[in-house]
Structure 1
Amino acid sequence: MNKSLLLTGALALGLSLPTLAQNASATKYAETITAGDLTKHLTYLASDEMKGRDTGSEEQKIAAQYISDFYNKLGLKGPVNGSYLQKVDLVSSSFGEVELKVGKNKLVNNEDFVFVGDGDMKKAAKADLVFLGLVSDENLAKVDVKGKLVGIWAVGLRSNDLVAKVMDAGAAGIVIVTMEGQANFDRIANRYKTLAGRGRVGFPQEVEQRPMFMVSSDKMGELFNTPVEELKEAAKSNPESIKSQKASYKIEKNVEPIESSNILAFLEGTDKKDEIVVISSHYDHVGVSSTGEVFNGADDDGSGTVSVMEIAEAFATAAKDGNGPRRSILFLNVTGEEKGLLGSEYYSEHPIFPLENTIVDFNIDMVGRIDYEYQDSTNTDFVYVIGSDMLSTDLKKILEYNNITYSNLILDYRYDAEDDPNRFYYRSDHYNFAKHNIPIAFFFNGVHDDYHQVTDTVDKIEFPLMEKRARLIFYTAWDVANRENKIRVDGTNTRGTR
């Protein structure tokens, strides 16, 4: 990027940037973020003995203690009545028996379908399975869904709103296709199977009778005795042409309490201390498989967690030298991201510091690897950035300025599109800040063969690259925390609900 064009554009928009000369203090403290320290912390947190840091497990609590002790040694404050831990009460809901039968076809859980709904029944229920296809007012006028299991075609669409609309129309339950191709579905089904019996973690709530079965596009065609391509065409405007099927289903649910915690460490600012900069990651993962294999979660998100720790050390060291930030900084390691962004949702609903005083969240989730897109590239010094200019055009300019000045990484915005089919924007903890109109920047290295696999281990982490990424985030946070005017909120949250 042309440096003069960046500065010209910034000035035109009223954004005050310093000269392109490096800030000696920022450089001094950024250099405390080292590949060696990142390696040390991650080697422990993602070790086999931590057993995948599953939400609510003893090993997760050990990890929380390790991180809290580190913050304590840095001299950072525990802002939760003197503690670093914000208690988050959760429950684990397991479904001991889930049955689905269509016609004479008895489907196998976590092979033919994945149960993604809720419910608890004493005996099996019978219902017609009807095909609705795309959820539109026109299709709902053509298909009677009341009391029926309803087949939905939701490939590339936001399914939560669609499911709610069909259930509100009186449906008894949902059979849904969210991706095409058996291979894509099998990857999800295998993960559910591997984690079978572990329970689904969430906030305590009343049982909702909302049976919801996810199937592959091929399986949906099989259930309706219709070729997939014909089913796709019918989904658009003539779903009534697909013959209904007889079905039955049963769900048994068990609920157990789980105690978990977010970790908060606070560095008070100097003259602008009421304004809060948040730097976040999630520190727990998904534990062990049903066969005892450890999901170490080195990249996801051990890499983000140790990056936050090292960034915290850089800021704390600066403060001890009398170079503390003008604005306050909250280092936030949340729980339950893998279970549905639970810890960040809890913090956003029970903030320790008022959300109206929180000016930005820098979220770090997977920054230790090279993904499919860059694995054969001659230049792998990249990081994906998501959401940085949606709510604040200042934020993206500040990030790019600091990248040019210090880091020279490739800032890749390909996943920042609103119609990104991967929906990465909705899949990490920054989401729960952005939904409250707090500017965010999400730093991410993309997916790879070890994503959500037991092979996500420390030996595959690119520590020198991770150091560069963590330093860029530090430089950007340093700039935002110390500039005269806080970043403007001049955009609109256009991305809605998950």
Structure 2
Amino acid sequence: MNRIALVAALSLAALPQSPALSKDTAGYQVKAADVLATEKALAGPEMRGRGSGTADEARAAAWVAAQFEKAGLSKAPGMAGYTQTAPLVRHTVAGIPTLTVGGAAVPGVSVLMTGGGRVGGKVGIMTDPAGAVPDADVIVYTGPADKLMQLRRVARGKTKLLLAAESDVTRRYLNMIGGKPQIRTTLEGAPERPSLAVAALPAEALARIAAGSEVTLDVPVATEKGVTTNAIGYLPGTDPKAGVILLSAHLDHLGVRPDGVVMPGANDDASGTVAVIELARSFAAMGPQKRGILFVAYGSEEIGGLGSTWFGERPPVPLSDLVANIEFEMIGAQDPKLPKGSLMMTGSERSNLFEMMKSQGALIAADPYPDQHFFERSDNYSLALKGIVAHTFSGWAVVPTYHQPTDTIENLDIDYMTNAIRSLIAPVRLLASGDFKPEWKAGGQPKP
């Protein structure tokens, strides 16, 4: 047993107990008190923010796994227990980053994110965030500060380094990640993928960088090995040929910042994990459906969807057996742009799952933020790229507490969560017990 697994096992006894299950004919009833109790177990001080790939994440995964077992779920096919671990290579900044322009050092650089090491090349200037990305290794962005992160998503894979002026946006982002650059953690043995470094520097220094200049960013790094943990429970189906439904969420969050501040992650994504646990309790009490149901809580979503990537590469059932995946992400607060009580379904226009779920009483609505590309920004996406109809159900995706120390239980709407989870039981049961098989609409399936 490795050190992280040992810490997780020894800590289980000290954690809050789950609510008692009812096995009577009425089945398990989703109650606000139980939703709150599970939230307190996951987002309380004992879990220390469930940092990705840490002993705290492993402890949270062990607790979720224990809830699956206690509910009466089986181990997934081929698994010896209720957790799945994946080896990580963690990179850390080992020195002061330096930025040079034409060989001369530029002071005041703040690195927001990096793959580590040295990147650079000739500069292209970009002012319009909606315009074409210049064919250059380094982009100097001079447009609106509030569009920087949107541009980052567009520029990924098209350039190596994105430079922008220091602003409230960059300062808030650095504060959110603890004042140190966000640096990639990878699955051990995974092929190297190109990364995009993002850095900010004083506006006057940025203005002096001309198109065609040679710019280099050097970030010294060190590496260490780690582990991330998924929790997996399984309700076998009565018809092995009917396929399997996957209900999932990510259990990790940002952990403890370098300044000692704990990031509780009550909404992101303890709330989604609560939904998976409550549905697991409900369906375990009902008993087997025609289709099997996998209940999964992934680790290390916050550092690149590593737990879901590992699961997708080593699933306990063949991916060809997966009929659909519903991911739960941040369901703890009502988005003011959604109909009262509703969750949003990302990519709702891409498949026929939305219409089926809604017709059966699911409190869901279309994503009101198509420009934010939320469909591509959660654990569902890696499975969607493999052809599986996979969507995320979310509450307030741009909630003010996002990645803040204020993402606490006190800022959740427990009644909203409870009602939303209850509304999903009937449509998920139809999905698991009937013959309906979700399909992509024309042009809906994303391409790798």
Common fold: TM-score over 0.5? yes
Which residue is 1:183 aligned to? 168
Which residue is 1:481 aligned to? 432
Which residue is 1:441 aligned to? 391
Matches within 5 A, 1:86-485: 86-97=84-95, 98-102=97-101, 106-109=106-109, 112-119=110-117, 129-133=122-126, 140=135, 149-151=138-140, 159=152, 162-166=155-159, 173-176=160-163, 182-194=167-179, 196=180, 200-204=184-188, 212-215=196-199, 222-225=205-208, 242-245=210-213, 247-272=215-240, 274-319=242-287, 324-371=288-335, 373=337, 380-390=340-350, 392-393=351-352, 395-403=353-361, 409=363, 411-415=365-369, 417=370, 420=371, 422-446=372-396, 447-485=398-436
| Bigger Rg over Cα | 1
More displaced 10-residue stretch of structure 1: 379-388 or 474-483: 379-388
Structure 2 counterpart SS, 1:69: helix
Contact 2:163 2:198 (C-alpha < 8 Å) held by counterparts: yes
| Distance change >3 Å, CA 187–CA 423, structure 1 → 2 | farther
Write the distance in 2 (CA, Å) between the matches of 1:384 and 1:164: 29
Structure 1 residue runs without a partner (length 5+): 1-26, 167-172, 227-241
More displaced 10-residue stretch of structure 1: 243-252 or 294-303: 243-252
Aligned length: 414
Which residue is 1:7 aligned to? none
| AA aligned opposite 1:400 | K
| AA aligned opposite 2:345 | V
| Distance change >3 Å, CA 292–CA 315, structure 1 → 2 | same
Give the drift of 1:165.
4.2
Which has the larger helix fraction? 1
Identity, in percent, stands at 25
Write the distance in 1 (CA, Å) between the matches of 2:254 and 2:380: 20
Contact 1:398 1:479 (C-alpha < 8 Å) held by counterparts: no
Give the drift of 1:294.
0.9
- TM-score calculated relative to the size of structure 1: 0.74
| AA aligned opposite 2:388 | I
Write the distance in 1 (CA, Å) between the matches of 2:378 and 2:435: 30
| AA aligned opposite 1:99 | T
| Distance change >3 Å, CA 270–CA 248, structure 1 → 2 | closer
- TM-score calculated relative to the size of structure 2: 0.82
| Distance change >3 Å, CA 206–CA 352, structure 1 → 2 | closer
Contact 1:224 1:244 (C-alpha < 8 Å) held by counterparts: no
| Distance change >3 Å, CA 102–CA 343, structure 1 → 2 | same
Write the distance in 2 (CA, Å) between the matches of 1:380 and 1:190: 33
RMSD of aligned alpha carbons: 3.3
Contact 1:278 1:332 (C-alpha < 8 Å) held by counterparts: yes
Structure 1 counterpart SS, 2:263: coil
Structure 1 counterpart SS, 2:116: coil
| Distance change >3 Å, CA 157–CA 302, structure 1 → 2 | closer
Write the distance in 1 (CA, Å) between the matches of 2:290 and 2:425: 15
